[in-house]
Amino acid sequence: MEIILSSLENTQDLQTTLNILAILNELLTVGGGRRTGVFVSKGGTAILLQLLVSSSKDPPANEELMLHIHSLLVKVGPKDRKFGVKARLNGALNVTLNLVKHNLQNYKLLLPCLQVLRVYSSNLVNAVSLGKSGALEIMFEIIGPFSKKSTTLPKVALDTLASLLKSGMNARRAVDRGYLPTLLAIYHDWHRNDTRHRHVVIRKSILGCIKNLTNIKLGRKAFIDANGMRILYNTSTECLPVRTLDPLVNTSSLIMRKCFPKNRLPLPTIKSVFHHPLQHIPAGGPVAQLYNQPPGVDDVVDESDENEATEVDTENDTEYDEDETGHKSQNDDIETDINKLRPIQMGTRPFDELRAYEYFCREFSENFEDDDFESPRSVIPPSSVNSERHRPIIIPTTPSPLGPQNRRPLREDLLTPKSNESPLELDSISISKRPEGTSDPDLVSSLGRLALDAGVNGGSADGSQDEGGEQSVLEVPDTAALLPLHDPDLYLEIVKSTCSVPAYTEVAYPDYFGHVALHLREPILERVYGVQRTKIFQDIERLIHPSDILDKVVYDLDNQSCPVIDNGESLKFNSKFESGNLRKAIQVRKFEYDLILNSDINSNHYHQWFYFEVGNMRPGVRYRFNIINCEKSNSQFNYGMQVLMYSVQDAINGSPHWVRTGSDICYYKNNFSRSSIAAGGQKGKSYFTLTFTVTFQHKDDVCYFAYHYPYTYSMLKMHLEKLSALRTAQIYYRQDDLCETLGGNSCPLLTITAMPGSSSNDHISQFRSRPVVFLSSRVHPGETNSSWVMKGTLEYLMSCSPQAQSLRESYVFKIIPMLNPDGVINGNHRCSLSGEDLNRQWQNPNAELHPTIYHAKSLLQYLRATGRTPLVFCDYHGHSRKKNVFMYGCSIKETVWQTNVNTSTSTCELHEDLGYRTLPKLLSQMAPAFSLSSCSFVVERSKEATARVVVWREIGVQRSYTMESTLCGCDQGKYKGLQIGTSELEEMGAQFCLALLRLRRFTSPLELHNHNSHLLDMENDLIDTRSIPNITSPTTYVLEEDEPAFLEEVDYSAESNDENDPDLEPELQDNHALPDPSSDSEFSRQDSLN
């Protein structure tokens, strides 16, 4: 090769040059990419470019020579990474462009010149230079309307034009010259005449040019002005029946969505409807920033979208190319400072201050001398039902013709209880129904009486009506037989003492009736091909056919007196009950509704949790619901997860179940603009839509929809009260109030263990020597699955099985089952009433703003100070982007292994107890929903203030975990392919207890020496997983994507890299927890439906 190139460089004879070029052409054609690489490495590119420039200095240039040179450059260019720079520096750009100008009719020479020009223009600087030299105008002389002649030349010209238009300067030049309407006309002509679809590549290339033109704001405006939305919509609709035309439909959809005008979210402000005043607002904190905005600032949408082009350009640049920078920086969050990884003994509060927490550990100082070991002993705080907190409670149900007055609150004089009022008696609470046409004021004559609407047409639940119009008692389902911890009357009593910011006066039926877990398994929903595209096209129809849109507000928390014309055609919505979240409902078509969620209180974001009621439906009709202000860039709703629905009619008929429901479910970026205030200063962001379709089975039913199985604070209080009644003589059970929350609710703290065998010194000594296990849950209100797991743990701990008794004899359990009661009560997704994520406050919690975290940490500090550092700490969470149940722990070694940086201390010199892996490994052997391969033990900087990391570093708990439960389902084990339900979640809580029981034999001082081989196995496991390059363990940062690819592209667009996405507690700060479409071979053959 060197000899050939040397000869080519030194020869002056034209024929010799042609012969050498012919030989090279043959060699590179036969040799493939490897030989071309050798040619490039030997300087062949520069020699060809120099020959091209020198040969063009003496016009006219030899046509055969130019043909040979450009044919070689076509092969060499894509293999030379610096080809564009070399061509520009040698002055070859204009040489090739001039050849194209003067040979427009010479097909033989024109084709290779255009191909080389396309390679040149892949360099952005070259593209700008060629644009200034008239390359755009030349391309439009070559491309044109439909023709049956050879399509190779126009195809190459279109690809070259598309490459040139990636430059914003060229795109503006093309728009100024009116080329966008020309391209639309050309595309429509090819579409109309290519009836046999033989020229799909041409049509797609035209769309590629339009797509690049619309990357700039000027281009999007020109597209709208040229009626581009209607043209592409109509042509795409005609292409839908033909599967082979999907690339055209996908690209057209991308263009239309990009050009769809940004809409303002129909809200007066993005701040929550409800506001809770804080006595102390830290300067510079999120609440201070939220409420210190200058007057008149619109926080819903920015004044301009000048940065919008940046977002679109970013999407375009990364649409096909692998994001190398993302892979390089994905470990940036991992802590690399070993000193910060080592557990530390921070100076805690003086022990005199911590001594107050002895009250919560008084079991260690009791002598049990006065105890009767044969009778149950339970310590619970006095009833928290305070008459001053009583409010009238309404339970909504099937609406009757009497209208809204049937759901009015109790008499006005009863809305403000007087201080001398006595507590309500349960006997005064009755559930009754009103026959048609009657409105007996006696039904609401007492504070404790509940108004319950009549059934359909005023009839009873079974459709009958008592003679003479007398009242009859509605038969509610007897769930007590199936739910031993559920008591509707007790629930009502507890609700009345629960403090909410909106002062709720209604109770949701599912919370009152209770939920009985389904015996049937609910499979993960199989995604229907084209569902997202169909939904997007229906959204585009709103712009094309605006007269079809009703735009009727049917529910609005911002306008409590929102007039709703009850013509029987609209659904009725409600979310004014504990844990409810729905801010606004807009009827956009006869059977389609846009829904807007409320922000967390004292916040302007975190829209994910929803829980609302729907009534006045027609059976057999497909209703579409669109939640239009979601913020996450991806969701398990794209991977088979369904929403939850509870039918009151089904409950009355004996099926009180939350069931997975909904079809045509997808999650995609919409065209509602997200202001920079809500997006952390970033402009050009959009919200995302969760859309699902439901067909109701009963006429005038009342149904409830929820993000996940609801579990309210009042439900927890009810369960705890029922659990305390299960206490036997062998169980030590105590319930304390850890503190009072900002909203005035108590935070329960449970202590569960086994009673000592007697009051003898030996038994008391054994009792006091039990290690502590500290469990917490529900710091994030929207992660209701964590409460169901906790319920399973508590029920197991209070059971009478021999294993449960052995477990109680092994440990003292300190349990905080709900760390964020206020957030749960008020329907928040992430925050407490302070407007902050409590799981980011563990380093320096504020006693006033974060009381539950402050006192929980103080209790842990007290335990450490008294030599009772917990053996295990576990915080239960829920995960919205991954399947299965898994754990996150803390390990110095595994963190250092993932940093790939040199440290002053070798990992071999790091001494670490590998026992932190024992519990996850035991769970993987025992719990069918648990996945060891999804576990991670890496410590990240962004998680340094979470419970898991702080308890590990500051309290010194080696086995400090976050246990994540999926919101969707499982992709392995016994439950593979199934959505998770409450029975599986409760089973997980019980299996966690069994794993703790087995853990005891690995941590017992008497038996530790017998299990050195087990620890060696752990070490070997770590070494083995470290040696595998593409493992799915031990850290999520090296996760291989485990989601199945879809035939259809899913929209993940530019916002997939949310650096501070709060839901990524599971150590994910980018979107790698879900598949990246660009990494899939099938996706690479399609355009993104961005």
Catalytic residue numbers read: 964
Contacts of 676 (CB under 8 A, 6+ apart): 302, 682, 683, 685
DSSP 844: S
Please state whether beta strands 584-589 and 552-556 pair in parallel, antiparallel, or not at all (unpaired).
antiparallel
Please state whether beta strands 622-630 and 685-695 pair in parallel, antiparallel, or not at all (unpaired).
antiparallel
DSSP 660: E
Tokens of 104: 């427009």
Are the CB atoms for 811 and 770 separated by under 8 Å?
yes
Closest CA to 187 of 127, 150, 227: 227
The gap from C-alpha 754 to its chain's centroid, in whole angstroms, comes to 41
DSSP 916: G
Are the CB atoms for 892 and 912 separated by under 8 Å?
yes
The dihedral through the CA atoms of 980, 981, 982, 983 has a sign that is: negative
388, HSE (Cβ side, Cα atoms, 13 Å): 3
DSSP 603: -
Tokens of 658: 């939350």
- Name the 3-class secondary structure at 72: helix
**Ramachandran assignment for 947, one of left (phi > 0), alpha (psi -120 to 50 degrees), beta (any other):** alpha
Q: Give the integer Cα–Cα distance in Å for 869 and 958.
A: 10
Maximum Cα–Cα distance across the chain:
117
DSSP 458-521: G--TTS---GGG--B------GGGT-TT--HHHHHHHHHT---TT---B--HHHHH--PPPSS-
The number of residues in the chain equals 1090
Q: Say which residue the tokens 């842990």 belong to.
A: 860
* Residue type at 943 in one-letter notation: K
Q: Give the integer Cα–Cα distance in Å for 167 and 479.
A: 66
Bridge partner residues of 659 (DSSP) = 645
Q: Give the integer Cα–Cα distance in Å for 625 and 694.
A: 8
Tokens of 833: 């009433």
Q: Say which residue the tokens 């760390």 belong to.
A: 819
Contacts of 247 (CB under 8 A, 6+ apart): 200, 204, 1085, 1086, 1087
Closest CA to 496 of 444, 428, 423: 423
Closest CA to 842 of 828, 831, 852, 832: 852
Bridge partner residues of 574 (DSSP) = 613
The total of other beta-carbon atoms located within 10 Å of residue 87's CB is 27
Please state whether beta strands 592-596 and 611-615 pair in parallel, antiparallel, or not at all (unpaired).
unpaired
Are the CB atoms for 254 and 1088 separated by under 8 Å?
yes
